[in-house]
Chain A
Amino acid sequence: METAMDPRLNIIDKRLAGIKRLIAVSGGKGGIGKSLTASVLALTLSKMGYRVGLLDLDLSAPSTHVILGIKDVYPEEEKGIIPPEVHHIKFMSIVYFTRDNPAPLRGIDISNAMLELLAVTRWGSLDFLIVDTPPGIGDATMDVIRWLRRAEFLVMTTPSKVALETVKKVIKMLTELNVPIIGVIENMKMEKSSWVKHDLKEFNVSILGEIDFDITIEGSIGDVNKLLESDFAAIIKELVLKSSGFDLKT
């Protein structure tokens, strides 16, 4: 064997072996509610009694720790890294290591750091691992598809022609790669409209539901109990329960 081999690639599947389902929350644009949805989804599933992990793979702009009010915790080292359990969620983020310093990472660094986290994190057994992803169809999304081979995608959009344009590309790419899509959530609705649904008809994806723009949500950021009581969480719970893509027993 001539070229040097990266051993990390061969251990990822084993690290994820105890996880029943991997759900990546994605979408083309930034600021459309991916991180909020990933966080609330993790909370909701955990409240329903499932064993849940949350992995923040937005390495340049990690935010789920802010949304869930996670601070002053640090992972344990035990033949790898054991993610700390916060609010009954096993939580892993680069923020443990970068703290509040900016870590300007180029594409190759993003891939390497992601690979490192996947190779050393020991999740144990989980029903769900929710993965928050950065915007775009760049390195990070391609790496999620390449390395989290069992991941199912939850695609976020907003009722904006600009957002939808990119979301369509994400859906096309996932479809082309045969990556399962649980469905699309239309977030931050300001008025009744059905054009997004209509526009997505040509794709073979289900629209899981709509979430209204909620001006009170900012007051709940960082407070898990308030988040769980929000309208946002109520809708997430409802659509998780009723969508066939999630296939949950009540």
Chain B
Amino acid sequence: MHEWSLAEAVIATVIEESIKEGLEEITKIKIKIGELQQMDTEIFEFALNEIAKVQDVGLLLSEMRIEMETERAILKCGVCGKEWAFDETGLGEEEYEAVHFAPEVAHAYIRCPSCKSPDFEIVQGRGVLIDYIKGSGK
């Protein structure tokens, strides 16, 4: 699953940032998940915990709490300025799957509801971001 590869990326980032900041134990991370990415948050959280368990860089992750916030995907037309929500677009199943793999692919399937332009911007809710990492160090 795609959720696993992004979970792996999140844990790698948590480890790298924590080392940089001199943290030894991570207590909490907050992740923002853009709706456009079409993530299964249950699988994602499970994957995060599983991957955190097997990391072996001496960082304490066993008490790490994971907070997730899903961000609604908003698109904005670059031609007429219309703003609309991704969940109003009604894509087919295959298209949803394609967008899940690479959210930019939305440009192949979505058009501005008011002027039909494919020249829109993803204002928010694109993909996975780590909002913050909390922990304690030396």
Mutual binders A and B: yes
> A81 near B101 (CB under 8 angstroms)?
yes
CA distance A112 to B101 in the complex (A): 12
Interface residue? A219 (CB, 8 A) = no
Q: Interface-forming stretch among A98-106, A137-145, A233-241?
A: A98-106
Dominant secondary structure of chain B at its interface with chain A: helix
Contacts of A78 on B, CB cut-off 8 Å? 1
B105 touches A97 (CB 8 A): yes
Interface size bucket, A side?
A: 35 or more
State whether B12 touches A14 (Cβ < 8 A).
yes
Total interface residues on B, CB under 8 Å, equals 36
Determine how close the nearest CB of chain A comes to the CB of B31; give it in whole angstroms.
8
Interface flags, B90-119, vs A, CB<8A=1, else 0: 000000001101111101110000000011
Q: Which residues of A contact B16 (CB under 8 A)?
A: 10
> Given A77-B2, A80-B4, A102-B108, is A5 in contact with B126 using a C-beta cutoff of 8 Å?
no
B48-104 at interface with A (beta carbon < 8 Å): 98-99, 101-104
Asked if A10 meets B12 with Cβ closer than 8 Å, knowing A101-B109, A105-B104, the reply is yes
Contacts of B107 in A (CB 8 A): 103-105, 109
Task: List, in ascending order, chain B residues with CB within 8 A of A10's CB.
Answer: 9, 12-13, 16
> Across the interface, do A4 and B131 meet the contact criterion of CB distance under 8 Å?
yes
Hey, which bits of chain A sit against chain B, CB under 8 A? 1-2, 4-11, 14, 77-81, 94, 96-99, 101-106, 109-110, 112-113, 116-117, 119-120, 122
